[in-house]
Chains A and B, each alone.
Chain A
Amino acid sequence: MPFKLEPRREPNRTMLYASPVIAVALTALAGLLFFAALGYNGTLAIYDILILPVIDATHWIDLGVKAAPLVTIAIGLAIGFRANVWNIGAEGQYVMGAIAGTGVALHAGGTEGAWALPVMCLAGALGGALWAAIPALLRARLKVSEILTSLMLSYVAIQVLYFLVRGPWRDPEGFNFPQTRSFTDVESMPILIDGTRLHLGIPIAVLIAMAVWVVMSRTLVGFELRVSGLAPNAARYAGFREQRTVWLALLVSGGLAGLAGIFEAAGPFGQITPNFPTGYGFTAIVVAFLGRLNPLGILIGGVVLAVSFVGGELAETSVGLPSAAIGLFQATLLFLLLGVDMLVWYRIRRIAPAIAPSAAPAVVRSAS
């Protein structure tokens, strides 16, 4: 090998912030080449996906609408990932949150009055948290991998949603379409600027990001979560209990996913339909990593992914790029980010041909 990786003693601060930017740039390049190879206008596609939504102010509110659920979910996931708790079933918790909140609206009788929406949101957060409590219980009590259980329960949650909208919750006046009745005004997320889709969930996502940043970096609970993820033995030594960490991480991430679910249902969707599970729960994983598991970084990561969603729709009309291409684009971004990230902890050194080749000391870095 003409090059070698050499571990650094301290992380490279510049790369810590530069690597997501490099990853986005490389993804743009890869996308350009790939879309061109498929016969699309690659340059225009990348311009529409990454640039147009940013420079054209008419898309900014759409960006917020898309980013809000991604950020809300990703912040919860990042708390867990930091603590070595791998909740990858946020999609299910998101769906369950929407179901729980909608259930309150549908079954609470006359839902007139200002309390309707707050109660729905509370129910949404609880629904998501309860759905996440199943993997939490299984991991904390029986050491069952939360990766597999939380994901499996996503599929279950989606089936529950199908059942409800096709069966008991189908709108009797909906011309037999599988969907619930539309939410009334008091049941819907307030619109902040009339005539736009700018709803209350967007500033709330920003507030959540700031609050979680404070908790993770300044409080003992945040410290506990970070220690548990980096060094479980040190966490035990410090008097932190692993079970508590698992519960905390899963309930909070489930609760936030559930909250995002009811925000979406009572916001942009206005009802629940079979199209409700849009995969935000999975995309939020990309957002969490793109934001380096830091709540403020996630705000930026959420906007970047929202740009790709909004831009993807633009590219769909302009160059006929299929919507599936955007999922691919986002996954490529995550791949490249994970690859570029090694520059934070390693440096690439060219091995000069003159001297005898040397080798780096054996370093076993534990991941996960």
Chain B
Amino acid sequence: MTLDVYVSIFMTVVIAATPILIAALGELVVEKSGVLNLGVEGMMLCGAVAGFSIATTTGATSGGYLAGAAAGAALSMVFALLVLSLSANQVATGLALTIFGTGVSSLTGRPFVGKTVQRLGPLFPHPLSDHPLLRALFGYDAIVYLSLVLTVAVAWFLAASRPGLVLRAVGEGDAAAHAIGHPVIRVRYAAIAFGGALAGLAGAYYSLAVTPMWADRLTAGRGWIALALVVFAAWRPWRLLAGAYLFGAVMTLELQSKAAGVGFVPPEFLAMLPYLATVVVLTLIALRGAGGQRAPACLGKAFRAGG
């Protein structure tokens, strides 16, 4: 194989990894605040359909991304209202969110099935973005770079900023944080909105860049993989980056093998790969004993306080 092929494969990995990275970063912040939102898949689908519909009707792809993020955030507020203000069970509500998001996206996406959309062009100018070698670094659209900036920003926010410290405190001890006067519920609302916006953005990246078209349930369980990635990364943003690219590689392997027509492996087995890889990775993490221990202490528990 020529160098050119390697560069292409590398770029496919990056593009496959980007949406799971974005969605997982959002969920990481949500979980750090002590909330488990299993609705990532549903929010992604809504972001995907909202992004696609705005992009096709207005012709503005970047507007589509904004709409995707807004849709994800809006949907996440339904979840937040139920689990934060009404103390509903987080697992059940998250599942409901996924079922709901799937339904909303199928229903509202029907007019868009089969349509296509203009992809966002590369961020960097012509000599860099289509240089045979350097395009591996400079040949992507703005969202790819945004995902990297977001990784740095989330890592900095959690480790070094004061709001990040308060968010972690809320996730480690909600009653204690309340006792010293931090608005637990408000912090969690904000975290859930952020997570929803990123899930929506990630979904929009599927319909506007990865595929780029609308098809029913086009995220195909990637939201769940993003959830698994957060566990894999032990709630650390940098490990999330590594994990997302690992999964990007697995998904690319699936696509490349299909395209190359690896005759002796049925396509169904290739399609299983990302899901099997998730199970295997979760198992390996647990075998190494790194999983579970670093989970925020209040993860998944409802909190009620006066006022």
> Taking the nearest CB of chain A, how far is it from the CB of B208, in angstroms?
21
Contact present for B304 and A144 (CB under 8 Å): no
Q: Which of B81, B92, B268 contacts A334 (CB 8 A)?
A: B92
A366 / chain B contacts, CB cutoff of 8 Å: 301-302
Q: Which of A162, A335, A368 contacts B300 (CB 8 A)?
A: A368
B83 / chain A contacts, CB cutoff of 8 Å: 367
Nearest B residue (CB) for A148: B228
B87 / chain A contacts, CB cutoff of 8 Å: 5, 342, 345-346, 365, 367
A341 / chain B contacts, CB cutoff of 8 Å: 88
A286 / chain B contacts, CB cutoff of 8 Å: 96, 99
Contact of B10 with A by CB under 8 A: no
A325 / chain B contacts, CB cutoff of 8 Å: 103, 107
- Residues 233-269 of B, flagged 1 when their CB comes within 8 A of A and 0 if not, give 0000000000000000000000000000000001011
Nearest B residue (CB) for A135: B279
Contact of B138 with A by CB under 8 A: no
B303 / chain A contacts, CB cutoff of 8 Å: 364
Contact present for B86 and A342 (CB under 8 Å): yes
Tell me the complex Cα distance, A144–B273, Å. 19
Contact of B306 with A by CB under 8 A: yes
Tell me the complex Cα distance, A368–B96, Å. 15
Q: Which of A151, A155, A339 contacts B82 (CB 8 A)?
A: A339
Tell me the complex Cα distance, A366–B287, Å. 28
Contact present for B95 and A335 (CB under 8 Å): no
Contact of B282 with A by CB under 8 A: yes
Nearest B residue (CB) for A357: B307
Number of A-B contacts (CB under 8 A): 176
Tell me the complex Cα distance, A136–B180, Å. 41
Contact present for A328 and B107 (CB under 8 Å): yes
Tell me the complex Cα distance, A239–B199, Å. 43
Tell me the complex Cα distance, A367–B87, Å. 8
Contact present for A338 and B282 (CB under 8 Å): no
Tell me the complex Cα distance, A330–B100, Å. 8
Contact present for A159 and B272 (CB under 8 Å): yes
| Residue of A163, A322, A338 with most chain B CB atoms under a 10 A cut-off | A338
* Contacts A143-B291, A144-B282, A330-B99; A339 near B88 (Cβ below 8 A): yes
| Residue of B285, B287, B292, B306 with most chain A CB atoms under a 10 A cut-off | B306
B116 / chain A contacts, CB cutoff of 8 Å: none
Contact of B283 with A by CB under 8 A: yes
Tell me the complex Cα distance, A282–B224, Å. 14
B97 / chain A contacts, CB cutoff of 8 Å: 331, 335
A155 / chain B contacts, CB cutoff of 8 Å: 220-221, 272, 275
* Contacts A152-B224, A324-B106; A368 near B89 (Cβ below 8 A): yes
Tell me the complex Cα distance, A26–B140, Å. 47
Q: Which of A148, A332, A335 contacts B227 (CB 8 A)?
A: A148
Contact of B93 with A by CB under 8 A: yes
* Contacts A149-B279, A364-B304; A335 near B100 (Cβ below 8 A): yes
- Residues 121-138 of A, flagged 1 when their CB comes within 8 A of B and 0 if not, give 000000000000010001
Tell me the complex Cα distance, A322–B228, Å. 33
B275 / chain A contacts, CB cutoff of 8 Å: 152-153, 155-156
Nearest A residue (CB) for B227: A148
Contact present for A138 and B305 (CB under 8 Å): no
Contact present for A162 and B268 (CB under 8 Å): yes
- Residues 338-356 of A, flagged 1 when their CB comes within 8 A of B and 0 if not, give 1101100110000000000
Contact of B38 with A by CB under 8 A: yes
Contact present for A327 and B304 (CB under 8 Å): no
Contact present for A367 and B227 (CB under 8 Å): no
B268 / chain A contacts, CB cutoff of 8 Å: 159-160, 162-163, 166
Interface residues of B in 159-200 (CB under 8 A from A): 174-175, 178
Tell me the complex Cα distance, A238–B211, Å. 54
Tell me the B residues contacting A by CB distance below 8 Å: 36, 38, 78, 81-83, 86-93, 95-97, 99-100, 102-104, 106-107, 110, 174-175, 178, 216, 220-221, 224-225, 227-228, 231, 266, 268-269, 271-272, 275-276, 278-279, 282-283, 285-287, 291-292, 300-307
- Contacts A155-B220, A322-B106 aside, 9 further interface pairs with beta carbons under 8 A come to A149-B278, A152-B228, A163-B269, A325-B103, A325-B107, A335-B78, A339-B86, A361-B306, A368-B301
15 contacts between A and B (CB under 8 A): A7-B304, A144-B282, A144-B283, A145-B231, A148-B227, A152-B224, A159-B268, A282-B99, A332-B100, A335-B82, A335-B93, A338-B89, A338-B93, A339-B81, A364-B303
